[in-house]
Amino acid sequence: MKLTGQDIIKELQERREQARLGGGSKRIDRQHAAGKLTARERIDVLLDPGSFEELDMFVVHRTREFGMDGNTIAGDGVITGSGRINGQLIYVFSQDFTVFGGSLSAAHASKIVKILKLAIQNGAPVIGLNDSGGARIQEGVDSLGGYADVFLQNALASGVVPQISVIMGPCAGGAVYSPAMTDFTFMVRGSSYMFVTGPDVVKTVTSEDVTAEELGGADTHTTRSSVADGAFDNDLEALAEIRRLVGFLPAHNAAPLPRLAVDDDPARTIPALDSLVPENANVPYDMRELIISLADHGDFFELQESFAKNILTGFVRMNGAPIGVVANQPMVLAGCLDIDSSLKAARFVRFCDAFNIPILTLVDVPGFMPGTSQEYGGIIKHGAKLLFAYAEATTPKVTLITRKAYGGAYDVMSSKHLRGDANYAWPTAEIAVMGAKGAVEILYRSELDDTQKIAAHTADYEARFANPFIAAERGFVDDVIIPNNSRYRIIQAFEKLRGKRQQNPTKKFGNIPL
């Protein structure tokens, strides 16, 4: 008997209701008992209310082996579609652990690939909510091929649209490489982990006893490996912060920056900055205070807060416009550049440049970290990554030197020589090859036994070179500014750079020292 229009509509509604149940109410209850939202609940929290439009709701796997031909669930373990965050178009996929453990099949992968292709084509950020047991073993090589298809689209999307990954459950084996190829990766403490091989394999191969949390939990990847850019206490906090992050990002690499109306006076003076830098050059201070002071309403979205703490990276707004910030942190290792901080900052600079987000660099750096561990670990190559990133960047770049800018580290930190557009210094800045003590010990080695003479030479060196004026005389610093007026001067510099046009020589790409 032919179905009527009403019958077809009823069947559609029933199919949709069944698909929305995923793996069923019992598995949903287990997801909640583990302190996790379901895949659909996560999308509802992430996107503006009522904005989600699902694609491929009825897709199922095509496997016939191992009894899978009689075991299909609509959607096949991943929910895909588009929606909006504060009105901005977003593409999203959310893996559903209640369906086959969120494992990836060829059909599952094809849904993710479609979303990535649409994001590239239509110029919109893509957010992946990962909660998967990995490859679907029943599919064998088809599942592996599916992963590779996803990886290819991640690579093609890189630098075209922002890609954000949120690890909200297990992520193991081949599954880890897609998040690793995206721009930002975040985790949820206590319920998410990432590793190439799990604890059982590690035990078998290396005889190491390690838990999943120790091997690939949020603390491991935010403090030691730098795989994750941040971690949150629960699903709700993670999704709220992703919404906040998206507000700093353009839709794609040719889109205008999301500028907001703001009631924080761009000409606001900050008297506390006049005394931020201690009189004793060896006393640390918190560079984060300067960042918060300069930002609109003190809003600073910090990235990799728990890794390489001697450098700070993240986003602020100044006069409503997003700005990427890279800042030495004198509170940790005196703000020296080492392997980890160079890698952290270089990747962030390259992201900002790819999407034409202006970069503010705040400098207080006594040099590169000395020692055999740094040299054996390749500080030369890794430090060169940050140098390369700044040199290659054509996005607007403003630099402020607050205190020390010594040696090669002065060059690396967005100096005028690396095409810094506006380079300022505070009167407390010391721009030199090295500190007065080290310089005098080299220049007057024959007089080291005469403490009085050495003291006089040191004082003379400090008076002549431990200041910003020699650099200013040569045009390496555009101006020496009053600290309390820094916000206004920096905002004015970025406003003038809004129409900046600069191109590198024609080439396929530069060979950054990876």
User: Which pLDDT score is estimated for 8?
Assistant: 84
User: Which pLDDT score is estimated for 194?
Assistant: 94
Q: Where are the domains of the chain?
A: 5-246, 271-429+467-496
Q: What is the CATH number of domain 271-429+467-496?
A: 3.90.226.10
Considering the entire predicted model, what is its pTM? 0.94
Look up residue 370 and give its DSSP letter.
P
Concerning whether 174 is annotated as a catalytic residue, the answer is yes
* Active-site entry in 81, 174, 383, 435: 174
**E strands present in 319-465:** 321-328, 359-365, 397-406, 422-425, 430-432
Distance CA 221, CA 200 (A): 19
Of the candidates 481, 440, 486, 482, the residue with the CA atom closest to the CA atom of residue 459:
440
User: Which pLDDT score is estimated for 2?
Assistant: 65
User: Which pLDDT score is estimated for 166?
Assistant: 98
Distance CA 159, CA 392 (A): 14
Distance CA 39, CA 105 (A): 17
Q: Which CATH number fits domain 5-246: 3.90.1170.50, 3.90.226.10, 3.90.550.10, 2.40.30.10?
A: 3.90.226.10
Burial class (CB in 10 A: 0-12, 13-18, 19+), 204: exposed
Distance CA 92, CA 80 (A): 6
| Three-class SS state of 418 | helix
Q: What does DSSP say about strands 163-167 and 170-172: parallel, antiparallel, or unpaired?
A: unpaired
Q: Do domains 5-246 and 271-429+467-496 have the same CATH topology?
A: yes
Distance CA 57, CA 12 (A): 11
User: Which pLDDT score is estimated for 109?
Assistant: 95
Q: Can you give the pLDDT of all 514 residues of the chain as single tens digits? A: 566 778 788 887 887 888 788 777 888 999 999 999 999 999 999 999 999 999 988 887 677 666 667 667 777 889 999 999 999 999 999 999 988 788 888 899 999 999 999 999 999 999 999 998 887 877 778 889 999 999 999 999 999 999 999 999 988 888 899 999 999 999 999 999 999 988 888 889 999 999 999 999 999 999 999 999 999 999 999 999 999 999 999 999 999 999 999 999 999 999 999 999 999 988 999 999 999 999 999 999 999 999 999 999 999 999 999 999 999 999 999 999 999 999 999 999 999 999 999 999 999 999 999 999 999 999 999 999 999 999 999 999 999 999 999 999 999 999 999 999 999 999 999 998 877 777 777 877 877 776 777 777 777 777 777 789 989 999 999 999 999 999 999 999 999 999 999 999 999 999 999 9
* Active-site entry in 409, 439, 471, 493: 409
Which amino acid appears at position 24 of this protein?
G
Concerning whether 173 is annotated as a catalytic residue, the answer is yes
User: Which pLDDT score is estimated for 386?
Assistant: 98
Q: How many CB atoms lie within 10 A of CB 226?
A: 17
* Active-site entry in 159, 190, 198, 408: 408
Distance CA 69, CA 377 (A): 52
* Active-site entry in 22, 81, 134, 173: 173
User: Which pLDDT score is estimated for 274?
Assistant: 97
Handedness of CA 21, 25, 26, 32 (dihedral sign): positive
Concerning whether 272 is annotated as a catalytic residue, the answer is no
Distance CA 90, CA 93 (A): 10
Concerning whether 409 is annotated as a catalytic residue, the answer is yes
User: Which pLDDT score is estimated for 76?
Assistant: 84
| Three-class SS state of 104 | strand
